[in-house]
Amino acid sequence: MECLEKMERELKVRNYSPRTVRAYLRCFREFARFDPDYYDFDEEKVKSFLLAKQEAGLASQTINLHLNAIKFYYKNVRQLRCNWTLKFAKRSKKLPLVLSHEEIMELLNVIQNKKHRLIIALAYGAGLRVSEILSVRVRDLDFERGLLKVVNGKGAKDRFTLLPEKLNMDLIDYIYAKNSSDYLFESERGGKLTSRTAQKIFEVALGKSGIKKAATFHSLRHSFATHLIENGTNLRYVQDLLGHASIKTTQRYTQVSSPALRKIQSPF
């Protein structure tokens, strides 16, 4: 479709991440199939499309992604000044699922493969997204300062986060034969591991550990943030380590990290 080619070009010119480019193109492709006359802006058809997604049970974040993709097309590809009255879907109020420190250790203890264990340990110890842990290169590890550089993270931003001292010896041994430009965790065929591979490693370990929580790979990042706050780390520092643009995003972890609440005894 010609519209998708133009849209892809505009997204890349504006330096959107490859992941966002793929997501926007997929979302707009779905809209174009829903409305073959998409070339001319019709807000009612956009509403109908988004309502159909809502009725199909899609999460609010996914619906907003579709809306953003459609807006991008009309504003930046068609260059139309549309009078949008559509509002974003309300985001889920669900609290992040957090694993205790003991549960993290249980996860690591059931992983026999050294590389797999380091992936899980570093993702937790540095608070990384799955895409970020797989993009780490050997040169991003700063053992002297105890820092890990996250290059081109979410929002195409670089940042520094913690490099856990407890992992130093294992990491130094692991990278012994690697070049500085190599990915830290490469696939067997070379190159970057897929996100699905990392998620599968977590899922298998979770099953073996016997932990009953419906945790995901991203729960490692949630746990990192929550444990830092529980240990008294300033919220602004946690925001910087996670790479959040807004402090409000970081503040949700205070709802699941209240030592004071745990000291209160039930009257039962």
Catalytic sites, residue numbers: 129, 154, 218, 221, 244, 253
Query: 261, 250, 259: which is closest to 230 by C-alpha?
Result: 259
| Residue reference for tokens 């807006």 | 71
- How far is residue 172 from each of residues 128, 143, 153, 216, measured CA to CA in Å? 19, 9, 24, 28
Determine the Cα–Cα distance for residues 159 and 142; give it in Å rounded to an integer. Answer: 13
In eight-state DSSP terms, residue 190 is: S
Q: How far is CA 131 from the centre of its chain?
A: 7
Q: Is the dihedral of CA 121, 125, 129, 133 positive or negative?
A: negative
